[in-house]
Amino acid sequence: MVSHPAPLLFTPLALGPLTLSNRAIVAPMCQYSAVEGVAQPWHQQHLGGFAASNTGLIILEATGVTLEGRISAGCLALENDAQEAALRDLIAGIRTYSAVPLGIQLGHAGRKASCGVPWKGGMPISVRDGGWQTVAPTDEPFNLDAPKPHALTEAEIAGIVEAFVAAAKRADRAGFDLVELHGAHGYLIHQFLSPLVNKRTDRYGGSLENRLRFALEIAAAVRAVWPKSKSLGMRLSASDWVDGGWTPEETAILSQKLEALGLDFIHVSSGGAVRDARVPVTPGYQLDFAATVKQAVSIPVIGVGLIVTPAQAEQALQDGKADAIALARAFLDDPRWVWRAADAWGLTLPSPGNISGRRAKPGRAIG
């Protein structure tokens, strides 16, 4: 095999106090397989293959800071002892064979909560049909045929900030190395950011300063309780893809403020706030958004967006568009994606834990 210079993909990266061995990150992927917010055996097997495959970091799926904050009844939550214990056991199991850094994405779905699982249509479910009351900046629903959300009072907003704090404390006790606050994809934090959704007239709506307030309050409150020895960041949608919506320039401003609060990274995605967005989905279509943020901050920026091959990921890093690459579908298709990437460059990666020596090299059979 021809040896090549070590690619950027396989150079270490510090996300604040947490150093990744490489820059290939398993992005959060909703599994819709929890029971009352509690992780199940499915989650162990879903994550186990990634953990045994030299990924730089695994970030668990969007996890509601309350049960009402879940996207669906099948989503994880982290507001009670049973949910915390299940995640602690999940981490303990992974730690028997892998030291891969583990993160969790904490969020609140807002008006996009109380939906069915995708294989049953994914449509909003009313309280009458077994769902729950959703909340949002105003009472305007995401779908015209969806139940109206409850418009949050300022006192209720403060309660949700405290729910993020409580969930972060539980994540720390469970053993996570990183928390990613979910401010993207049209969920509650993004709902407050987007002028297409946030029509409030109080101090949480209107001007950019007011629309940033909820995100910054959550970030500051979680930063105050999340250990400085662990990494904290936020995922943002950099564009609503609709005229008059949230913009990359506003994302850069928010990212600078998050850096000033002590966050360690920004994870850049896009879309999700409104239904009529027209998104030109092509390979790497969100990387320019990551580049805009990267030019505005000094903390690492994670890029995403239909990145499938190691060559694509490496090119994005070489072009300076991102500091790390998060992948989802590519890892689902091939949990050993990192191994294949290393083989392509003639690199040898250490085998994790007690499975040392069990990996077959390319072209070699196992007897």
Question: Which element (helix H / strand E) includes 303?
Answer: strand 301-303
Token pair listed for 169: 């404390």
Tally of helices (H runs) and strands (E runs) in the chain: 10, 12
Instruction: Round to whole Å and give the CA distance between 97 and 102.
Output: 13
Q: Which pair of structure tokens corresponds to residue 350?
A: 């250490």
Distance, in Å, from the CA atom of 269 to the CA atom of 257, rounded to the nearest integer, reads: 18
Neighbours of 199 (CB within 10 A): 13
Q: Are strands 102-107 and 178-183 parallel, antiparallel or unpaired?
A: parallel
CA pair distance 236, 105, nearest whole angstrom: 12
Q: Measured on CA atoms in the order 121, 108, 143, 37, is the torsion positive or negative?
A: positive
Cα 325 to Cα 267: distance, rounded to the nearest angstrom: 9
Give catalytic residues, as residue numbers.
187
Rg, Å, the chain Cα set: 20
**CA 109, CA 191: separation in Å to the nearest integer?**
9
- Is residue 239 a contact partner of residue 289, using CB atoms and an 8 Å limit? yes
Residues 6+ apart with CB under 8 A from 125: 114, 115, 116, 131
